[in-house]
Amino acid sequence: MKRSSEDTLGLQLNRRALLRLGGLSGAGLALAACAPAAPQASAPSASDDGGADAEPTTVEIWTGFGQGRMADAMTGAIDRFGEENEQFEPNHVIVPWGEIHDKVIANTAAGNPPDSYRGWAWIVAEDAPIGALTDLTDFVEAEGVPQDDYWPATWKQMQYQGKFYAMSISTIVQLFYYNKDRMAEGGFDPENVPANLEEWEEMGHALTETEDSGELDRIGFIPLIPRADPHNWLPAFGAAVWDEETTTVTVNNERTLRLLNWYSSYNERYGAENIQAFRTAYGGNFFGRNSPEGLYYTGQIAAWQAGSWLFNDIGEYGPDLNFGVAATPSPSDITDGHPGKLVANMYFVPANAKNVPGGFAFSNFMSSSKWVALNKAVPDSVTPSRISNATDPEVEAAGGFWMPFARDNILPKAWAVPSMPGIQYLAGQIYEAIDEIAYDGADPEAVLEALSGRVQDEVNNKLEAAGG
Amino acid sequence: MSVFAGTRIERSRTSLSDMSPMVRRRLVWGLFFISPWVLGFLAFTLYPIAASFYYGFTNYNILNFTPRWVGTENYADLFTSDNVFWGSLRVTIQYVAMLVGLATVFDICIALLLNMNVRGLSLYRTVFYLPVMVPVVAATLTWVWILNPRHGLVNGLLDRIGVDGPLWLASPRTALFSLVLVAVWGSGRAVLIYLAGLKEIPSHLYEAAEIDGANPFRKMWHITLPLLTPQILFNVITMTIFSFQSIAAPLIMTGGGPNKATLLYGLQLYRLAFERLRMGYASAMAWILFLLILALTITMFYGSRRFIHYDR
């Protein structure tokens, strides 16, 4: 049967028409993808405050405070911000902590980020050089944010190369928690705690119990539990990491080598697989921090280092625990060690945020408000970043015994995690180095040299991609 | 004009002006109705593929809208100086080899059992297909508990019969094999395909073999397996492709450890792209994976021609 041209519709023509349509659509999509990003932050002006008749503008806020005590405190803080700033209407979006940073980056690239989100100090150095954060310097200056009211390390962590990219609400310090009952049980005086790392180690070994097979039953002190946390132990060993002026990674030094050997000594003594098995078996949710069966609350771990945030967890889930806190110890011959790391909790305004004044207003509110210090930082058991808030008698009375101890003994000397692009990569590389030494029998010196090179490459790559 | 299978096909060349209004209308409506798919294909398949090919030659962190052209530097670095790349490739090849081998044997055995006439067959078939329906995150988190070296179900059962269970995910020696076990557990989709293949084998072949005195093993070896080879080839190829791309299980269960024992290629690629924002480098890795899978697929496809029996 003969087909008419109307029936066949002409194959070649169809293809052309389809390709034309496809080409047009593709071009449209490409143009859409290349559309200019949302307007950058403009300098703050009086109009940002909004006139009496102006409609309130929405401020989208992302945090991971989804449930429990901390979520209630967050909701209260956001409500308070709305009440005190009628020109803004806050909208709280809960994003799981493990995803929040990745999602913000993806949304920033797509031009649809939140106006403010909660993160940590390391984000400043990771994201500012690649253009993922809004420069808040003009806002900070216009607002007259007082430098002398911040802990120096916190003030520094809010900046990258002299510009402000974050407002800190609070500062986490690491505490060395010890179980007094376990110490007494092992014949140690819980009121007379060890003075240096060697003494803590001696006690830790005495309190560690293992099966004949090597399986770990109860932990005295093993620095690989809860995890190696190099950002905490590097400063305790007085190891240098980064030269900001020359953007050089300086981690390949004697102190870091000593630290690697120290970690490895525990793998050799107790067996890397036994330690890993203990972590795998019990390590979920930071060894059960939100459960009465948590290993530290039940005494299965006698001493470990963790953030001050654990303090209120103990009150909630292990109220009967007889415990104390100390500063992260250094080896006795190291006199320039720091009592662990210091990480500021931050609020950021991502690049391309739609409401930069609103994002800054909220971030600054969280950073400066005494109400927030009392009702958010204290329930989170972290030190408020403003000295005036941290030393306020009402805040001090509401906080635990750890707060004045940390404020006066740890915070001023703690090591501020540096503004180094690739600082998280460095930590990951040290974890891998510990494994390499333990499982492959690699030479620590060679491992450290290779590690240092990789981290420097990472830094260079980040700066290069950012055009720096 | 073109020639296809010995038949001349006259292609008509028609321009829009030659069409009647009705045909043009039909054309427009036809294009309109397929446009969602076309747009989706262009935006979410063709454009990302083309973009990733381009990004593979750049230094790109998703926030710098003008990626810096670096030529073949990413590929050169991967091949010459990136030990983690080679390590993850080695681990992935081990994983794929173990998984495809074990899953093929396991799935065929299960399909053979499900092909028997026993009471409650529908229930058994459902049970073996259930893992496919379970969301991967829920399944892997459950397996983390099942394989817990101290309190897990598996080691608990082994302990009851006096066997000291392995450390499973906690040891570099057993972690990869643990991931393979979990993947084999979830391979019920292949069982269905094998079962369909078994159903298609004509029963008269078995009857003839029985008359010739063949025992069950010989029937299996000379009839069942040869006639199941098309399904085996299909499943081996698809399973190879998917297992090279595995990411969820190692990401959730081990994070690539201990000591990079479970650092699969997909996981390393994900980390480079989304944790370290090295999109250009990760794109180059993705293209290498694509070419590797393509080469393997072609090799399997052509290499297996002598062994595949399509005639029944």
pLDDT tens digit sequence for B257-303: 899 999 999 999 999 998 888 999 999 999 999 999 999 999 999 98
| Tens digit of each residue's pLDDT (9 = 90 or more) over B176-219 | 999 999 999 998 889 999 999 999 999 999 999 999 999 999 99
| Tens digit of each residue's pLDDT (9 = 90 or more) over A30-53 | 444 444 344 444 555 434 444 456
| pLDDT band for position A386 (cuts 50, 70, 90) | very high
Q: Which of A109, A213, A467 sits opposite B62 (nearest CB)?
A: A109
* Residue B90 reports pLDDT greater than 70: yes
Higher pLDDT, A223 or A173: A223
| Tens digit of each residue's pLDDT (9 = 90 or more) over A69-98 | 788 889 999 999 999 999 999 999 999 998
- Provide ipTM, 2 decimals: 0.82
Domains contained in chain B, CATH given:
15-69 (no CATH), 74-303 (1.10.3720.10)
| pLDDT band for position A463 (cuts 50, 70, 90) | confident
Predicted local confidence at residue B10, as pLDDT: 55
| Tens digit of each residue's pLDDT (9 = 90 or more) over A179-204 | 999 999 999 999 999 999 999 999 99
Q: Which of A10, A29, A458 sits opposite B12 (nearest CB)?
A: A10
Q: How many CB pairs under 8 A join A and B?
A: 130
CB-based contact B150 A9, cutoff 8 Å: no
Minimal-distance CA residue of chain A relative to B12? A10
CB contacts, 8 Å: B260 with chain A:
432, 435
| pLDDT band for position A13 (cuts 50, 70, 90) | very low
Q: What is the residue-averaged pLDDT of chain A?
A: 87
List alpha helices for A340-443, DSSP H.
356-368, 370-372, 378-380, 387-390, 393-398, 402-405, 423-440
Domain boundaries, chain A: 48-172+342-416
CATH of domain A48-172+342-416: 3.40.190.10
Predicted local confidence at residue A35, as pLDDT: 40
Look at residue A234 and give its three-state secondary structure. helix
CB-based contact B278 A439, cutoff 8 Å: no
Contact call for residues A351 and A131 (beta carbons, < 8 A): yes
CB contacts, 8 Å: A430 with chain B:
none
- In percent, the amount of chain A with pLDDT more than 90 equals 67
| Tens digit of each residue's pLDDT (9 = 90 or more) over B47-69 | 999 999 999 999 988 887 678 89
Pairing of strands A341-348, A415-416: parallel
Q: Average pLDDT of A139-151?
A: 95
* Residue B2 reports pLDDT greater than 50: no
Give the span between the Cα atoms of A165 and A349, in whole angstroms. 8
Predicted local confidence at residue A130, as pLDDT: 87
Q: Which of B35, B64, B260 sits opposite A466 (nearest CB)?
A: B64
Best mutation site among B259, B268, B272 for testing chain A: the one with the most A CBs within 10 Å?
A: B259
CB-based contact B64 A465, cutoff 8 Å: yes
